[in-house]
Structure 1
Amino acid sequence: MTRVRPLALLLLLAASAAAPAAEWQGRVFDDRDGDGVQAPGEPGVPGVRVSDGRTLALTDGEGRYRLQARPDAPVFVVKPAGWRLPTRADGLPAAWHAQRTGPEPRVGDFALRRDDPDRDAARSVLVFADPQVKSPLDVDYYARDIVAPLHAAGGMGADLGISLGDIVDDVVGLYPEINAVTTRLGLPWLHVPGNHDVDPGAAADGASLSAFRASYGPDTFAWEEGAATFLLLDDVVLLPGQRPAYVGGLREDQFAFLEAWLPTVPKDRLLVVGVHIPLFDTAAPGRAPTFRAADRERLFALLRDFPKALVLSGHRHTQRHHRHGAAEGWHGAAPLHEFNVGAASGAFWSGAPDAEGIPDATMADGTPNGHALLEIDADGGYRLSWHPARLPPDDPARTRAMHLHAPRVLRRGAYPAWAVYANVYMGEADTRVEYRVGGGDWRPMARIERADPWLTAENARDDEAAALRGYDRSPEAEPSAHLWRGVLPTDLEPGEHLVDVRAFDRWHGEQRGSTRYRLQDAPQDRP
């Protein structure tokens, strides 16, 4: 990789032969009165980066920039650490300007305001994946199931929000409606496009995101904080007329931006890369890869020297952690952590509705729909957690960290072939999960890859129902990457027995849940 001097006045890369560049110019200024317009006494801010997602410019000593930008791409400011951006009329950050037609030079100023100097560098980020609304009814589910509880909780004290694609389910006309809901949280909110965010009938990848760009601006974007740097990338490559109709990958203009911008990023911060399609391959045996290996290796080569890096992805409507290593082209000092975030819509807003009319939405691996929270320390360390959308009150078998499933009754003295299952949502292969019965000794549970038994039972209830239980039934249960099993003893006294489960989360320590089962003597011996 060719390193670029971070203090160069203008970093220009070769323009695309497909379209002539359009000149942009303007100022980045200290908006001291907060009105969004530069006034006397409001100086320019030097050393701020402005980009069209391919070419990068740096403001001079008076905050001025000039940029040869693509005529079809929004121009955005890379918000520097220690500064805040004003809010647009639609509630999103005023971080970009849409491209304009015409021969005259494009003018676009960017207002910044100083952050609170007493504010700690640590940051907390709400992470949504796949809200995937397809109707006003789905927007209502999203509002009541995801956003309203967060709003009531003060946004969990978060400083920033990110949505990892599939904002809508092929209905791009719903962008204003879902934005109006998300922005109720009052946070700067950043968006990544997904495969369901492309323009209906798009005939080519390069021209497939006009509606997304009109609502959210750039599809390649960067944002800097004191403890972390955020890089958001469109990694959906449209393949019109092919099956599948898209693949995970990156474009040449995105690599041009990365090669210019990444050398300017401090390596003592956490680098958070947000994408839609996971970087790890999820294809079934014999199928085409879901992410282009050459693009992944090229990206990994650019990220290799960042000792603190985290990838966040969506798309799968299940949840898991993945640690990239040499077999996938990652050659950093430690494995690269990718958290494939569960969906806000869960299983596409499917399943039997509750008393409030909101679908169950449990995902195919048994994870309840909800959102993630990323907490970043001032030194770039981080913690992740999953937060189910709404938990049933006073049910110790369903907690924020896990849900348990066990038989209600077993015959006393039966062969111990039945078990308690713990679906630990943030569990990994090395997570320690233990259980005990009746206050006895803690024993290890065995991690298994099989379908969640609660969801399997829900599938059976859907099968047996004589009428639809909801608009769409729950998804067919598939093997879960975070399921543990512990055999239940049958040689105890008759009656009810308490089962405690504890899981040791790598970031948040011990997490507990509990359930009960009953041992019953058979009325008579089997003949």
Structure 2
Amino acid sequence: MKTPCRLLAALLLLAVAGVASAAQWQGRVFEDRDGDGIAGAGEPGIAGVAVSDGRTLALTDEEGRYRLEARADAPVFVVKPADWRLALRADGLPAAWHAPGPRGGIHRGDFALQRQAGPRGDALSVLVLADPQVKSMADIDYYARDIVAPLLADGAAADLGISLGDIVDDVVDLYPHINAVTTRLGVPWLHVPGNHDIDPDAAADATSLSAFRASYGPDTFAWHAGAATFLVLDDVVQLPGQRPAYVGGLREDQFAFLEAWLPTVPKDRLLVLGVHIPLFDTAAPGRPETFRSADRERLFALLKDVPKLLVLSGHRHTQRHHRHGPDEGWHGDTPLHEFNVGAASGAFWSGAPDAEGIPDATMADGTPNGHALLQVDADGGYRLSWHPARLPADDPARTQAMHLHAPRVLRRGAYPAWAVYANVYTGEADTRVEYRVGDGGWTPMLRVERPDPWLLAENARDDAATALRGYDRSPEAEPSVHLWRGALPTDLDVGEHRVDVRVFDRWHGEQRAMTSYRLAEWPDTP
């Protein structure tokens, strides 16, 4: 990790200035050649590595040593360099941090690194989960069988994993149980806190994450891997006793960290910012803002000159892309891309269960629950994809990219008011979506913002049921921003007609799905 000498010296001076306070961290970042986690003879220190408590930053000297003023409530962590790896703790999470010790005195915090040579160079594959949101051991079981087991069965090779908050649903005692499932995947895992990850008796924002920090360490954290740098931030500001009880925003200590750390990040890397609450505002007219605009503008000013930047967020249990521009305070050379990731729990583990007892969990915009995959190229370019938790093997209308909905039968000669719909999970306003009927020509589909018709039908099935179909109903369908419509012709011959839909994904090229409908004369006598 190369850092200009002047910057290194300045940061070291900044870290030790005024360290005559009651407490400080001291330690070494070293090459753990024998893998025992203890600095021994012949195991050299590593220079230029950042160590922080989420506010103050120190860079190690030529012998790998650092000194850092200690905050009573803040873990200290190492920013792992790209070509090194960390050992795992007993709970399977990276040994990247130390918990704060008693007030006063000297706290020792060494960090053991081992050299890592990735088989694909700087290319990187990252599993991205938002809102697992488990509230019981039953939900832990769904998460294990629906999300983690298929990844293990597919042998999906990943270099890193990230959970974008709401790891639990207000039941912080479940942290060890969900960790035991997630770490089966055998990859380093980073965690962002969400509004449902706070202590149940928290009386103030400053003391709301003690259980989270005990399990996951810092809520401000950075990590280098491959051609990317990952920055995860707690962006939930608790407002106990108010309604709403939280708002999106950042703290002063986080801004101090960013001001100190961002100049150390090489400009040729992709910077991935992971948060829970989206940076774009989702409030209805006349309602309080969901992310404090002053904090967003201040953050954007710090990030403006980062040439390669991606934001990942969760929280909403729907999925969409958002491109920030000047109206929101972003003044970079190109719009800032934020991918608001769909939930692993979908609609909070709701809906009718399948044959294996796992709830349907389709989200309110018609997106199936699942995970995202971020692939980073060696030059810092990236690709995103959505992976539904369950895909039926024998249904060509449901693919990884989309699902189709069409009527089964129409009267031949009827007014062509009925349509095939394509819910394209990672679609944007400029996504090219086309369809054809039989051997006809390809025709553009029209993007519409309306509820997914499949989920509307599921809502109707729930309404008509005389007994509960599952623990909780599917969510009420709401308008989807990634839905396309194509009118079905009724002037063709009586019989079955194949409908093909193709999507031109900006990252993965052409994707297809297929369904069919039947034209019949009235009265219909099939």
Written as runs of structure 1 = structure 2, the 5 A alignment for 1:286-297 is 286-297=286-297
What letter is aligned with 1:90?
D
Runs of 4 or more, structure 1, over 3 Å off, are: 3-6, 11-16
**Secondary structure of the structure 2 residue equivalent to 1:255:** helix
Q: Verify: 1:308 aligned to 2:311, yes or no.
A: no
Matches within 5 A, 1:434-453: 434-453=434-453
Superposed counterparts of 1:304-453, under 5 Å: 304-453=304-453
Cα separation, 2, equivalents of 1:214 and 1:4: 35
Q: Partner of 1:197: helix, strand, or coil?
A: coil
Matched with 1:491 is: 491
After TM superposition, give the deviation of residue 51 of structure 1 in Å: 0.3
CA contact (8 A) 1:132 1:348 kept: yes
Q: Which amino acid aligns with 1:132?
A: Q
1:153 corresponding residue in structure 2: 154
What letter is aligned with 2:475?
A: P
1:456 aligns with 2:459: no
1:59 is aligned to 60
Following the alignment from structure 2 to structure 1, what is the Cα–Cα distance between the partners of residues 92 and 118?
24
Q: Which amino acid aligns with 1:51?
A: S
**Residue 466 of structure 1 corresponds to which residue in structure 2?**
466
| Shift, 1:116, TM fit | 1.5
Query: Alpha carbons of 1:15 and 1:490: their partners in 2 closer, same or farther (altered >3 Å)?
Result: farther
User: Following TM superposition, by how much is the alpha carbon of 1:366 offset from its aligned partner in structure 2, in angstroms?
Assistant: 0.1
Alpha-carbon shift at residue 153 of structure 1 (Å): 1.5
Aligned to 1:166: 166
Name the CA distance, whole Å, in 2 between partners of 1:478 and 1:437: 28
How far apart in 2 are the matches of 1:424 and 1:440?
22
Preserved CA contact (<8 Å) 1:15 1:21: no
Where does the alignment leave 5 or more consecutive residues of structure 2 unmatched?
none
Judge conservation of contact 2:15–2:68 (CA < 8 Å) in 1. no
The TM-score, its normalising length taken from structure 2, stands at 0.97
CA contact under 8 A between 1:12 and 1:68: conserved in structure 2? no
- Whether the 8 Å contact between 2:270 and 2:308 is mirrored in structure 1 is yes
Unaligned runs of 5+ in 1: none
The separation in 2 between residues aligned to 1:456 and 1:118, in whole angstroms, is: 46
Query: Is the alpha carbon distance of 1:398 and 1:66 closer, same or farther for their aligned partners in structure 2, counting shifts above 3 Å?
Result: same
Q: Is the 8 A contact 1:21 1:71 kept in 2?
A: no
Q: Write the distance in 2 (CA, Å) between the matches of 1:145 and 1:167.
A: 15
Contact 2:432 2:504 in 1 (8 A): yes
Give the C-alpha shift of residue 119 in structure 1.
4.5
Q: Say whether residues 1:10 and 2:12 are aligned partners.
A: yes
Q: For the residues of structure 2 that align with 1:14 and 1:328, how far apart are their CA atoms?
A: 38
SS of structure 2 residue aligned to 1:450: coil
Aligned partners of 1:168 and 1:197 also within 8 Å: yes
Residues in 2 aligned to 1:308 and 1:314: alpha-carbon distance in whole angstroms? 21
**Residue 225 of structure 1: CA displacement?**
2.1
Q: Secondary structure at the match of 1:6?
A: helix
Question: Cα deviation per residue 1:241-288 (whole Å; 9 max; x = unaligned)?
Answer: 110000000000000000000011011110000000000000111100
d(CA) in 2 for partners of 1:241, 1:15? 39
Counterpart residue number, 1:279: 279
* Matches of 2:118 and 2:489, distance apart in 1: 59
**Cα contact 1:330–1:336 (8 A) shared by 2:** yes
Taking the aligned partners of 2:103 and 2:267, their CA distance within structure 1 comes to 41
Q: 1:119 to 1:436 in 2, by over 3 A?
A: closer
User: What is the deviation of 1:69?
Assistant: 2.2
Aligned counterparts of 2:7 and 2:246: Cα–Cα separation in 1: 35
- Is the contact between residue 221 and residue 231 of structure 1 (CA under 8 Å) also seen in structure 2? yes
Number of corresponding residues = 518
- In structure 2, the residue matched to 1:69 is 70
**Residue 113 of structure 2: aligned partner:** 112
> Could you say what the CA RMSD is over the residues aligned between the two structures, in angstroms?
1.6
Report the CA distance between 1:12 and its aligned residue: 3.5
Secondary structure in 2 aligned to 1:459?
A: helix
The one-letter code sitting in structure 1 at the alignment partner of 2:496 is E
Cα deviations by residue, 1:175-224 (Å, 9 ceiling, x for unpaired): 00000000000000000000000100211001100000000000000001
The Cα offsets for residues 461-517 of structure 1, whole Å up to 9 and x where unpaired, read as 000000110000000000001000000000000010000000110000001000010
SS in 2 for 1:182: helix
Which residue does the alignment assign to 2:48? 47
